[in-house]
Structure 1
Amino acid sequence: MQPETDTAASWRTEIAATLKLSWPLVLANLLQMLIYAVDVIFIARLGEVPLAAASLAVSLFGLVLWSLSSLTGAVAPVIAAELGERAPALRPIRRATRMALWLGIIVGIGGMGICLLLGPISRATGQQDSIIGLSTDYNALLIWSMVPMILASVLRNFVAALGRPFFATAITAGGIVVNSIANYAFIFGNLGAPELGLRGAAIATILTTLATLAAYIVAIRLNRDLNRYHIFGRWWAPDWQRFRDIVRIGTPIALTVAAEAGIFGAAAFLMGKFGASQLAAHTLALQVAALAFQVPFGIGQAATIRVGFFYGARDSEGMKRAGWTAIIIGTGFMASTALAMVMAPELLLSIYVDPDAAKNAVLVSFAVRYLMIAAAFQLFDGLQAVAAGALRGLQDTRVPMWIAIFSYWIPGFGVALALGFATPLAGMGVWFGLAIGLTVAAILLIWRWGLREKLALTQRQ
């Protein structure tokens, strides 16, 4: 009976460790979404067209930002593996974090250039001229938040991997306050600020991002356990091997995120073909779905760190427990969000707009339909997010990248195009395509996780 007792205790310990690490990350992710929600809430007051214009700009900006943040985020499994092998690993972790910051600056500047293609992309996809003008004007300011956002993401991964995820929670909460005040001031001309409309929302984002980055730097410098790594010391000294390691592990992660975020971004451009109402409804429904997604996304981040720790320690049983624990917790939560979307869609939409207002009747009608489909793919969305996080802990990123690219862009985007433009379903057809892509990705990723031993993924290179 003793082995069974020990096994049960190990699983209970892992559940507790996963929850302890994941809840601050989940809360930080939700608070980050609330920062975006604040933008949507304020911009929505400007009208349908400004909201649609901001949606187009954020579709491209968000795609680039999340991809590049995921590239530099490869520092998390690298730090976790170093801790599992030889904690506290001061020098390896310091050098890895420094190289991730270097990489963040380099790719962030490149990302700004990519975002400047918004105008040509919008025209090529047949967006309305009024929306293009507003979106490119907004985007011209928004891109200046790119580099500090990526650097803040690196520091967030650093504090989380070292067991201080609550810093991310507190700092992100502070960001909501800064963003709310800045939007209130610069969009509508309050508190002595100029009335800048949609431009004001971009300025609010820049100010919030700079405040967030500064807060991480101060928190790390003031915390004795984090400051001993001296990640800001000798910042000019390169470690090209670790730079290459982060690029090697992170590039497939970035492409994976680009594949998933890309299909949602492309969906926004497809929805723009159906008019401002459907595009605005798509934006709101996607905000609700994305808000729910932050929970399995945070649990997936925790899975990367927990699995990565056991990967560094070469403990295959520990990897198994960490991965499956996170997968079960994440998928279980998404069942509750699916129920909420079915039972109270208008209540969820009321976070952003007044569903009873006559001017919002068409928008809300479309958004409710899209939420019904979002409810259907919640379980698969959570499953693929956590499974991908567990595989990243094994530094297995290349094959999951191809799984994502295939799933989202062949069956997913293919169905979206076919049902959206070759049938009367229009926007509903696009959302059915999104659901198919997520479902296929979840099935293939969980299959690979189940075969990790046979594929020798648990053997550290």
Structure 2
Amino acid sequence: MIKEMSYIGHVKAVALLGLPLVGGHLAQFAIGLTDSVMLGWYGVEALAAVTLASSYFFVLFLTGAGFGWAVMPMVAAASAAGDETSARRATRMGLWLSLLYAAAVLPLLWWSGPILRALGQQPEVAADAAQYLRVACWGMGPALLVMVLKSYLAALERTQIVLWITVLAALANGLANYALIFGHWGMPALGLRGAALASVITQGISFLAVVLYVELVLPEQELFRRFWRPDWEMFARVFRLGLPIGITSLTEVSLFAASAVMMGWLGTVPLAAHGIALQVASATFMLHLGLSNAATVRAGNAFGRGDRAHMARGAVVVTAMSLCLALLASAVFLLAPEVLIGLFLDPADPERAQIMAIGSALLAVAALFQLVDGGQVVALGLLRGVQDTTMPMVIAALSYWAVGLPSSYLLGFVWGMGGIGIWLGLVAGLACAAALLMLRFWRRGLALV
């Protein structure tokens, strides 16, 4: 009975911490979703371009977000140990590293056109994507800073405010998109550039909101006091933990970005269908990502206290919760694909039927990778909680680049399976990562406590 209550207590604790994080990730996802839906109404060519541009942007964004992710377990462990000074130092240096990274990748965003053409994209789609990125690039810095501050607040278990700030951002983005893409409320109709500008505005609003919250509600933390002063010892610690996290994210997101590039080789319509199906699958991934964040915080707290039994029980619970969500999402993908795909398309679009057919087939494959995608991200969250990031980086690189990417190319083009084959390759890479990362946590991660 005691053991059973312990597991029930873990379910309640993970839900209390994780549900606002899930909601926050869904609200963040809604920002990209709004871009895709409204640009899908604007035109299939614009949808294909934003699919390509978003993949390119997020490859760079998620690599830099590693420093923000590193802050979460460091602050959680420091908080559990009662070390507020280390929590503050780690967060400040996470902000420093994020600013430096944003400046470093700005040229890659500004001159993205030649890079996209070199990757084999159609010149018209590449030109439109580059036009989008020349505006969107100015949001990279604020977006990364928000990531650090959200991680800091989540580690302190202040997840409700993370949710509400992200909901505010999603609403602002929707209104700005409506005005700037189509030219409503006296605004110019800017199309793709309007969607990019709306995203920059949204990221700026999010940054201001989270800074105001920290300053007004948590003044005793003195997070921004003497912010300009370097702290090289902590800078190095955050860098050493965050760089492998960023590279791990890069390996996964680059697999999906490469799948977008390969879908682009098949044509504009398959690329648009891929973008829609990936948006739908990404929505359910946000559920697993929220649970993964909760796992990082709770594992980080247990790590700070040296409580191995607590961590093991929590790991079982969060993995089971992810599995249940994956089964539910898979059922929806298989039973109602047309409803989901149809949300992104104008009923009068002449290419609607073709996109619906391709997208529905891709969602059937997405149902397969729900289980393994949830498994790998939860395992990563647990490993980050014990500050084990280097070997997970190696595992991710092997799984996604040595298994997933070649499988996508072979199945899609050598064996002639097209878009279905490309997506089956994604399943292979994610399955390999999930198995190896879970094995790493249960054999090595717990031993670190």
TM-score (ref. length: structure 2): 0.97
Contact 1:349 1:355 in 2 (8 A): no
Contact 1:65 1:111 in 2 (8 A): no
Within 2, Cα distance between the matches of 1:311 and 1:114?
38
Task: List alignment gaps of at least 5 residues for structure 2.
Answer: none
2:338 counterpart of 1:342: no
Contact 1:355 1:361 in 2 (8 A): no
Q: Among residues 41, 66, 72, which one is paired with 1:70 in the alignment?
A: 66
2:252 counterpart of 1:281: no
Contact 1:72 1:246 in 2 (8 A): no
Within 2, Cα distance between the matches of 1:399 and 1:56?
30
Within 2, Cα distance between the matches of 1:229 and 1:246?
19
Within 1, Cα distance between the matches of 2:351 and 2:193?
24
Within 2, Cα distance between the matches of 1:330 and 1:355?
35
Deviations 1:2-53 (A, max 9, x none): xxx4333332222211111000000000111111111111111221111111
Map 1:253-332 → 2, pairs under 5 A: 253-332=245-324
2:126 counterpart of 1:132: yes
Aligned to 1:14: 10
1:358 deviates by: 4.6
Map 1:81-160 → 2, pairs under 5 A: 81-85=77-81, 87=82, 89-160=83-154
2:232 counterpart of 1:240: yes
Counterpart code for 2:65:
S
Task: List alignment gaps of at least 5 residues for structure 1.
Answer: none
Contact 1:346 1:355 in 2 (8 A): no
Deviations 1:289-317 (A, max 9, x none): 00000001110011000001010111111
Within 2, Cα distance between the matches of 1:321 and 1:109?
42
3-state SS of paired residue (2:194): helix
Q: Among residues 194, 197, 219, which one is paired with 2:191 in the alignment?
A: 197
Contact 2:14 2:318 in 1 (8 A): yes
Q: Among residues 208, 216, 222, which one is paired with 1:214 in the alignment?
A: 208
Q: Among residues 164, 178, 186, which one is paired with 1:184 in the alignment?
A: 178
Counterpart code for 1:114:
L
Aligned to 1:33: 29
Contact 2:76 2:300 in 1 (8 A): yes
Counterpart code for 2:160:
F
Map 1:41-52 → 2, pairs under 5 A: 41-52=37-48
**Identity over aligned pairs, percent:** 37
Aligned to 1:384: 376
3-state SS of paired residue (2:188): coil
Higher normalized helix content (fraction of residues): 2
Q: 1:81 to 1:363 in 2, by over 3 A?
A: same
Counterpart code for 1:200:
G
TM-score (ref. length: structure 1): 0.95
Contact 1:186 1:194 in 2 (8 A): yes
3-state SS of paired residue (2:185): coil
Within 1, Cα distance between the matches of 2:111 and 2:326?
35
How large is the Cα RMSD of the aligned pairs? 1.4
**Count of residues in correspondence between the two structures:** 449
Q: 1:161 to 1:254 in 2, by over 3 A?
A: same
Deviations 1:277-298 (A, max 9, x none): 0000000000000000000111
Counterpart code for 2:115:
I
Map 1:152-171 → 2, pairs under 5 A: 152-171=146-165
Q: Among residues 354, 361, 375, which one is paired with 1:369 in the alignment?
A: 361
